[in-house]
């Protein structure tokens, strides 16, 4: 098994991006197979070029693939890759899960099991709660079920994906230090616009998502682009659904032209499990199974999570629907990853992670990190008359009501393994108050915001195994809450809008309000980025180096229209136009706290389907009571001030923009005319993009009644 670097792993989830998908690569073999490849004690090893670690991986892979028979090649195109005993190559299981801690995967013959000396693994908070900390140093992505994602904002989701992928694969936090070797291979999923699970009889397997080029460009695609370009993810998973009629896994434009061609993806592309069979069996997109095989291989997919390629690739070749060269390309991508992981470097016990033992699983360092992440993600939504924190010396009894208050299963969320030492909210509170009455009453909190009899509301997400302790510490004041909602909390009547409607932009003529804080024009229960604290913070923008950003490197027909295409500006101008923004933050209260600083931008003149506002930067700061600090952020005009036209082209509008943090604003202006100073090209503003919106709110329902 490829082990995680215990500190860098932190929280697993991106998919990636990300959806973020987190695929851990694991190799646990039956005893009748070679224990590992390239065994130095095997005389044949010396004759195999693919075992020579001094050769480039490209040449090693070419040698290996050239030695395989057609049947052996086909056997490697599925997630449970067969052994090749004559070459000393064991079987390999590609499918493992590590969304927010190493997880058990059922229905596979190989892979992670918790039935040996290791019976559990640290369960960190689910992704949705970790994102609420707005602390990139706690992140290390996944997909379209709400709890598995970093929320609704493209910038947050992209940054989460990058941090996660860099951490899990062995790169530095800043990136740029990842060489050929991989610590673990991270996979971003589900590519792309995979927002619907099951709604009124329409499920994710057959859903045909009608998505505009505009929404693809500035909402759905940017997190995946960040995951690949900045995170250097080595895996991508294509989703079940279709986009405008074409199955994602059979879309050459998506997989080869966009991911590999435009974004420079260098890795393997896998289907979601049984997605290839669904193209024929359920979507009816092709006339026969061999057509499905041909479509996905020619589109650029490499691996089938399932058995369709194993069953039908041979007959697809016989029918001349598939060329062996397409198979060889897929195998080159797959074996390149396995070699980058060191799985063809001989005895794994002698490799860099070969000495990691059970003492490094459920370690105190990991448990402390899980607690820290839970503390920093929990969001205080309401605190009338400063009801919280409760006085430890005065509270002698509590009533705790709610079905999840004593559920360790709900605590960790989905895609989780058995936790090391779970503490439920009830157990956490019992460490402060011994006299507690508990009753498991599913709780709808919509009514609670304006109910004067309910003084406080806390959103705890799925806080992981230490969540109960973290929640109790916040309630009794041993930790100051600082989390912010990574989602918009919509009113109940929004569920009347079809989940099949993928549009981000509102349509006033039909009453469609739009999606996410960037475009939604309806009533909100709580805003994206909302969160209270036990202390008060104030902000001050320090003077900008310039209040004008000049984008005038060349003439453009679009300038007369008041906007300029990002692609026309060029890399040099985009780099020169980046602008530092410094904000002074002060803790004006009496309690120390960790505070997330969120920088938004809005245009003076909205409309033309531009966002209402966008998050352009964020950071986290620890401040003692009365302490000040300066937070430095960066605006990149080409990335953060751009939005999509109807044809998907990213453009920057000329005119005024307002940076905002809390109740403070600072104006900057984008100008396309000539500037007389050399330094004028260093200023601009930032607009976010991306990801998938969700209606599933991660919430542990619970009432606490004082007696």
SS (H, E, C) 564-581: EEHHHHHHHHHHHCCEEE
Active site residues: 272
Section 384-392 average pLDDT: 95
Report the CATH number that the domain containing residue 640 is assigned in CATH: 2.60.40.10
Residue 606 has pLDDT above 70, yes or no: yes
- Are residues 477 and 588 part of one domain? no
| pLDDT confidence tier of residue 443, bands split at 50, 70 and 90 | low
Contact partners, residue 168, CB within 8 Å, separation at least 6 = 4, 8, 9, 12, 22, 98, 140, 183, 184, 186
- Are residues 603 and 488 part of one domain? no
* Residue 645 domain-assigned (yes or no): yes
Of the listed ranges 349-353, 469-473, 476-480, 572-576, the one predicted with least confidence: 349-353
Strands 397-401 and 537-541: unpaired
Domain boundary residue, one of 309, 324, 352: 352
| pLDDT confidence tier of residue 702, bands split at 50, 70 and 90 | very low
Contact 581, 617 (CB under 8 A): yes
* Residue 680 domain-assigned (yes or no): no
Contact 537, 590 (CB under 8 A): no
Q: How far apart are CA 517 and CA 195, in angstroms?
A: 17
* Residue 35 domain-assigned (yes or no): no
In this prediction the pTM is 0.89
Q: Please tell me the predicted confidence (pLDDT) of residue 678.
A: 44
What's the full length of the chain, in residues?
A: 707
Phi-psi region of 691 (alpha: psi -120 to 50; beta: other; left: phi over 0): left
Dihedral sign computed on CA atoms, order 430, 432, 436, 439:
negative
- Other CB atoms within a 10 A radius of the CB of residue 116 amount to 8
- Are residues 298 and 399 part of one domain? no
Helix pair 289-299, 308-318: axis angle to 10 deg: 90
Contact 683, 576 (CB under 8 A): no
- Are residues 189 and 65 part of one domain? yes
Domain, as residue range, for 449: 363-534
Q: Please tell me the predicted confidence (pLDDT) of residue 694.
A: 27
- Are residues 443 and 427 part of one domain? yes
* Residue 441 domain-assigned (yes or no): yes
In whole angstroms, how far apart are CA 703 and each of 368, 387, 620? Answer: 27, 14, 30
- Are residues 224 and 87 part of one domain? yes
Residue 693 has pLDDT above 80, yes or no: no
| Strand, coil or helix: 315 | helix
Q: How far apart are CA 518 and CA 523, in angstroms?
A: 14
Of the listed ranges 304-308, 314-318, 630-634, 695-699, the one predicted with least confidence: 695-699
Section 228-240 average pLDDT: 97
pLDDT per position as a tens digit, 535-580: 999 999 999 988 899 988 655 555 566 889 999 899 999 999 999 9
Residue 616 has pLDDT above 90, yes or no: yes
Residue 225 has pLDDT above 80, yes or no: yes
Select from 351, 304, 305, 352 the least CA-distant residue to 330.
304
Q: Please tell me the predicted confidence (pLDDT) of residue 689.
A: 29
How far is Cα of residue 411 from the mean position of the Cα atoms in its chain? 20
- Other CB atoms within a 10 A radius of the CB of residue 235 amount to 28
Domain boundary residue, one of 290, 325, 352: 352
- Are residues 510 and 539 part of one domain? no
- Are residues 370 and 230 part of one domain? no
| pLDDT confidence tier of residue 277, bands split at 50, 70 and 90 | very high
Element containing residue 275 per DSSP (H, E): helix 275-281
Contact partners, residue 543, CB within 8 Å, separation at least 6 = none
| Strand, coil or helix: 664 | strand
Give backbone dihedrals phi and psi of 219, rounded to 5 degrees, phi first.
-130, -60
Q: Which two tokens stand for residue 105?
A: 């995967």
Residue 219 has pLDDT above 90, yes or no: yes
Q: Please tell me the predicted confidence (pLDDT) of residue 23.
A: 36
Residue 605 has pLDDT above 90, yes or no: no
- Other CB atoms within a 10 A radius of the CB of residue 167 amount to 26
- Output DSSP code: residue 50: G
Residue 527 has pLDDT above 60, yes or no: yes
Domain boundary residue, one of 514, 534, 554: 534
| pLDDT confidence tier of residue 444, bands split at 50, 70 and 90 | low
- Other CB atoms within a 10 A radius of the CB of residue 85 amount to 12
Structural domain count, the chain = 3
Give backbone dihedrals phi and psi of 426, rounded to 5 degrees, phi first.
-60, -45
Q: Where are the beta strands (DSSP E) in 22-112?
A: 80-81, 92-93
- Are residues 637 and 581 part of one domain? yes
Section 439-446 average pLDDT: 70
Q: Which two tokens stand for residue 525?
A: 């229960």
How far is Cα of residue 22 from the mean position of the Cα atoms in its chain? 9
Q: What burial letters (b/e) apply to 667-704, b meaning 16+ CB within 10 Å?
A: ebbbebeeeeeeebbbbbbbbbbbbbbbeebbbbbbeb
Report the CATH number that the domain containing residue 486 is assigned in CATH: 3.40.50.1700
* Residue 306 domain-assigned (yes or no): yes
* Residue 13 domain-assigned (yes or no): no
| pLDDT confidence tier of residue 197, bands split at 50, 70 and 90 | confident
Q: How far apart are CA 333 and CA 326, in angstroms?
A: 11
Q: Which two tokens stand for residue 476?
A: 């009794």
Average pLDDT, the chain: 87
Q: How far apart are CA 694 and CA 692, in angstroms?
A: 7
Would you call the peptide bond into 416 cis, given omega within 30 degrees of 0 as the criterion? no
- Are residues 311 and 284 part of one domain? yes
Section 455-462 average pLDDT: 93
- Are residues 427 and 296 part of one domain? no
Contact 511, 543 (CB under 8 A): no
Residue 690 has pLDDT above 80, yes or no: no
Select from 106, 5, 4, 81 the least CA-distant residue to 415.
106
Q: Please tell me the predicted confidence (pLDDT) of residue 562.
A: 85
Q: How far apart are CA 618 and CA 616, in angstroms?
A: 7
- Other CB atoms within a 10 A radius of the CB of residue 7 amount to 12
- Are residues 226 and 204 part of one domain? yes
Report the CATH number that the domain containing residue 338 is assigned in CATH: 3.20.20.300
Residue 704 has pLDDT above 70, yes or no: no
- Output DSSP code: residue 676: S
As a whole number of Å, the CA-based R_g of the chain is 26
Contact partners, residue 31, CB within 8 Å, separation at least 6 = none
* Residue 152 domain-assigned (yes or no): no
* Residue 135 domain-assigned (yes or no): no
Q: What is the largest CA-CA distance in the chain?
A: 80
What percentage of the chain reaches a pLDDT higher than 70?
Answer: 87
């Amino acid at each position: 098994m490829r082990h995680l670097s215990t500190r860098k792993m932190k929280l697993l989830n991106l998919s990636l991006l990300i959806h973020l998908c987190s695929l851990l690569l694991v190799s646990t073999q039956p005893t009748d197979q070679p224990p590992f490849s390239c065994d130095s004690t095997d005389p044949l090893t010396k004759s195999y070029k693919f075992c020579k670690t001094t050769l480039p991986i490209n040449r090693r892979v070419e040698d290996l693939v050239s030695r395989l028979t057609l049947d052996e090649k086909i056997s490697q195109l599925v997630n449970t890759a067969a052994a090749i005993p004559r070459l000393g190559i064991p079987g390999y299981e590609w499918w493992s899960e590590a969304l927010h801690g190493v997880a058990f995967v059922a229905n596979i013959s190989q892979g992670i099991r918790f039935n040996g000396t290791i019976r559990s693994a640290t369960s960190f908070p689910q992704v949705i709660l970790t994102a609420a900390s707005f602390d990139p140093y706690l992140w290390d992505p996944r997909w379209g079920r709400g709890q598995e994602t970093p929320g609704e904002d493209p910038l947050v989701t992209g940054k989460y994906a990058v941090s996660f992928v860099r951490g899990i694969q062995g790169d530095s936090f800043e990136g740029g230090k990842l060489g050929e070797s991989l610590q673990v291979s991270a996979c971003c999923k589900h590519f792309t616009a995979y927002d619907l699970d099951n709604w009124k009889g329409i499920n994710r397997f057959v859903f045909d998502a009608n998505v505009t080029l505009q929404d693809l460009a500035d909402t759905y695609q940017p997190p995946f682009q960040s995951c690949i370009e900045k995170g250097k993810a080595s895996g991508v998973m294509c989703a079940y659904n279709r986009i405008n009629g074409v199955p994602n896994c059979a879309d050459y434009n998506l997989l080869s032209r966009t991911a590999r061609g435009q974004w420079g993806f260098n890795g393997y592309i896998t289907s979601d499990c049984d997605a290839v069979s669904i193209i024929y069996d359920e979507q009816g997109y092709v006339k026969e199974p061999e057509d499905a095989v041909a479509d996905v291989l020619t589109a650029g997919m490499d691996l089938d999570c399932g058995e369709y390629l194993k069953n039908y690739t041979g007959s697809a070749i016989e029918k001349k629907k598939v060329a062996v060269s397409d198979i060889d390309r897929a195998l080159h991508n797959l074996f390149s990853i396995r070699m980058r992981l060191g799985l063809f470097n001989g005895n794994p016990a002698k490799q860099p992670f070969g000495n990691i033992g059970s003492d490094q699983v459920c370690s105190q360092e990991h448990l402390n990190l899980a607690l820290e992440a839970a503390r920093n993600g929990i969001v205080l939504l309401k605190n009338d008359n400063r009801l919280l924190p409760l006085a430890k010396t005065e509270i002698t009894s509590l009533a705790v009501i709610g079905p999840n208050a004593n559920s360790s299963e709900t605590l960790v969320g989905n895609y989780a393994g058995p936790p090391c030492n779970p503490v439920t909210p009830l157990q956490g509170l019992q460490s402060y108050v011994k006299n507690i009455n508990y009753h498991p009453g599913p709780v709808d909190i919509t009514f609670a915001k304006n109910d004067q009899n309910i003084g406080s509301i806390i959103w705890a997400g799925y806080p992981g195994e230490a969540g109960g302790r973290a929640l109790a510490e916040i309630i009794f004041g041993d930790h100051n809450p600082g989390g912010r909602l990574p989602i918009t909390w919509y009113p109940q009547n929004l569920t009347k809008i079809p989940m099949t409607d993928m549009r981000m932009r509102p349509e006033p003529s039909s009453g469609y309000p739009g999606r996410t804080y960037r475009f939604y024009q309806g009533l909100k229960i709580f805003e994206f980025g909302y969160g209270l604290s036990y202390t008060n913070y104030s902000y001050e923008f320090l003077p900008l180096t310039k209040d004008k950003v000049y984008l005038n490197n060349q003439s453009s027909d679009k300038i007369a229209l008041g906007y300029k295409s990002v692609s026309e500006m060029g890399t040099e101008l985009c780099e020169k136009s980046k602008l530092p923004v410094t904000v002074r933050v002060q803790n004006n209260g009496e309690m120390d706290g960790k505070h997330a600083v969120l920088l938004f931008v809005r245009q003076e003149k909205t409309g033309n389907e531009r966002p209402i506002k966008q998050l352009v930067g964020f950071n986290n700061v620890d401040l003692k009571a009365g302490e000040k600090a300066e937070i430095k952020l960066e605006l990149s005009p080409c990335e953060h001030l751009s939005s999509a036209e109807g044809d998907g082209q990213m453009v920057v509008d000329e005119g005024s923009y307002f940076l905002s943090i809390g109740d403070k604003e600072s104006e900057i202006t984008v100008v396309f005319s000539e500037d007389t100073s050399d330094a004028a090209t260093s200023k601009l503003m930032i607009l976010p993009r991306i990801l998938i919106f969700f209606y599933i709110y991660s919430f542990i329902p619970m009432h606490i009644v004082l007696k």
